[in-house]
Amino acid sequence: MNKTKFIIALSTMFLIFSCKQNDVLQENIVEKETIKMFAKTMSDSLAKKGSIVPIKVNPDSIKSKLFGKNQNKTFSLMNGLFYDPYLSSNMYALRDMPLTFQARGGGANSANRFLQTNGRGKELVLTSSDNPSTTNFKVRVLPASSGIPYLIYSFQENTPISVGQYSNAPNNKVLFLLNDESGSLYNASWDLIASSSNPGYFAIESQSYLEQGPGGMWDIFYNVVELKDAAKIGYGKYSNKPQQDFLITPRSKFTLSSMEYVNDYNATVTKGPDIILKGSYTNTGYSNLSYDIECLKSEFLSSNFSVNKSINFQFENIAQKFKRPSVLQGVINLNPGSNIEADVSLNSTGYTKNMLTKVPFLISPRTKVAIDYKVASYTVSVDFVAIATYQDREVKISGRWTGRVISDEYPLSDHSYIITDIDTGAPKMVKLPNPNLNLNAVNKPLAVQ
């Protein structure tokens, strides 16, 4: 009886196990079928859309649309916005050098901001990781007579990116990599337009993909590249979206080589409080003593370079020091002399200067001399242009420097001298050879009367 029960139980367990195995097998079959169906759906979708082809461009047709009735009409969406005077020359200096395009804001997946190639003849996609083999691009600058401001190439594939469309879905415009450079490249014509709301970012504006807006026959606009969702790139009318603004960063680091201050007509000079250097010395002896009295003061000298944001250059020597402009009697000198210390850099906000001047004195016996030595202080704001190089390439960075400038400009009579007989406490007078002269013009020590 027990044996029979055991056989029945064993049979039941085997039956249950067989059923479960059947269920797992069925689930695997269903999963495989689902994957096959998904792949087929994707394949069918691609087949329906067809292959990617460049959009057809008739340059004469574009010109007639834009200028047929009003030669003075400007249709660029960026007209009147931020202007970098060195953008054109800097882009020429960057020709064929590797650089990246990173959006200010992502699409559905905000982490995916870098433009990335996906092979020739395929759409560009978005990625969160900066992989030089797929995220490196280069710009080529053509002669103005070509009508093409810039061509943007995949650095790896060495073919240009272009506006394209699917052969069976012409309204589905995409950003893709051409198979080669054969034929017209007007569909690969781009301009880089600085954002006014977000300096340092650029719209990638197609010069071939124009659309008619709702505002009538003159509402014609150039489309710009726009991030759409997690990995999709499309186009749209520029509207300051984070998905339309791109940071352009060269891979190579440049070396700051020189800096000059420019546009004295645009400089401002504001007089600040005088700085007082203090010094003293006591002659305890019983004969005259020639002595250089040291006057000292530690003072913070501010410095700030506000760089006009444009191409996102990286510098090998960001801490390179340059000279401040100089000021004398409220008048700025944009070309500081050899005696001016190089103490300002792009990444510094200033430093504490230990100021020292020596006043030569002929001190009579048993006399103490105390000096309050005045130095003029100014706040200066002035335009600057810096030059940076990489091998044989040269770029310019502009902006405005604001900082503090000191000037040892006061005549001898403007300083304060307190001279005391240490035995009687009686005051004495200082003998100034010429009160209107600056100390630097005096050839002999000041004397006590």
Q: Kindly report, residue by residue over 176-230, the tens digit of the pLDDT.
A: 999 998 888 889 999 999 998 899 999 999 999 998 888 777 888 999 999 987 6
Question: Comparing C-alpha atoms, which of 109, 107, 102 is closest to residue 228?
Answer: 107
Structure tokens at 15: 């039956």
Placement of tokens 């990617």 in the chain? 52
Residue of higher predicted confidence among 68 and 182: 182
Helix or strand or coil: residue 143? Answer: coil
Q: Give the mean pLDDT of 438-446.
A: 73
Measure the CA–CA gap between 155 and 337, rounded to whole angstroms: 45
Q: For the chain, give the percent of residues with pLDDT over 90.
A: 62
- Answer whether residue 42 shows pLDDT above 80: no
Q: Is the Cβ–Cβ distance between 386 and 395 less than 8 Å?
A: no
Placement of tokens 């051409």 in the chain? 178
Q: Which of 103-107, 283-287, 380-384 has the lowest mean pLDDT?
A: 103-107
Q: Where are the beta strands (DSSP E) in 246-330?
A: 246-250, 255-262, 268-271, 275-283, 289-307, 322-323, 326-328
Residue 77 CB neighbour total at 10 angstroms? 16
Pairing state between β 125-127 and 137-141: unpaired
Q: Which of 7-16, 32-41, 42-51, 115-124 has the highest mean pLDDT?
A: 115-124
Measure the CA–CA gap between 425 and 409, rounded to whole angstroms: 32
Q: Is the Cβ–Cβ distance between 257 and 387 less than 8 Å?
A: yes
How high is the mean pLDDT of the chain?
84
- The CATH number for 52-250, chosen from 3.30.460.10, 1.20.1560.10, 2.60.40.10, 2.80.10.50, is 2.80.10.50
- Answer whether residue 423 shows pLDDT above 70: yes
- Answer whether residue 9 shows pLDDT above 50: no
Helix or strand or coil: residue 248? Answer: strand
Measure the CA–CA gap between 423 and 304, rounded to whole angstroms: 52
Q: Is the Cβ–Cβ distance between 103 and 128 less than 8 Å?
A: no
Structure tokens at 214: 């709702």
Please measure the distance between the N-terminal and C-terminal CA atoms of the chain and give it in whole angstroms: 139
Q: Report the amino acid identity of residue 129.
A: S
Cross-strand bridge partners of residue 446? 361
Domain residues of the chain, as ranges? 52-250, 255-448
Q: Give the pLDDT score at 263.
A: 96
Biggest CA pair distance of the chain: 139
Q: Which of 51-65, 139-153, 291-305, 385-399 has the lowest mean pLDDT?
A: 51-65
Q: Give the pLDDT score at 305.
A: 97
Decide if domain 255-448 falls under CATH 2.170.15.10: yes
Q: State how far the alpha carbon of 5 is from the alpha carbons of 2, 8, 57, 270, in Å.
A: 5, 5, 85, 107
Residue 427 CB neighbour total at 10 angstroms? 9
Residue 229 φ/ψ, nearest 5 degrees = -140, -150
Q: Report the amino acid identity of residue 345.
A: S
CA atoms within 13 A on the CB side of 369: 29
Q: Give the pLDDT score at 47.
A: 55
Q: Is the dihedral of CA 242, 244, 248, 249 positive or negative?
A: positive
Q: Which of 61-70, 286-295, 435-444 has the lowest mean pLDDT?
A: 61-70
What is the 3 state secondary structure string of 42-56?
HHHHHHHHCCEEECC
Structure tokens at 367: 């006399």
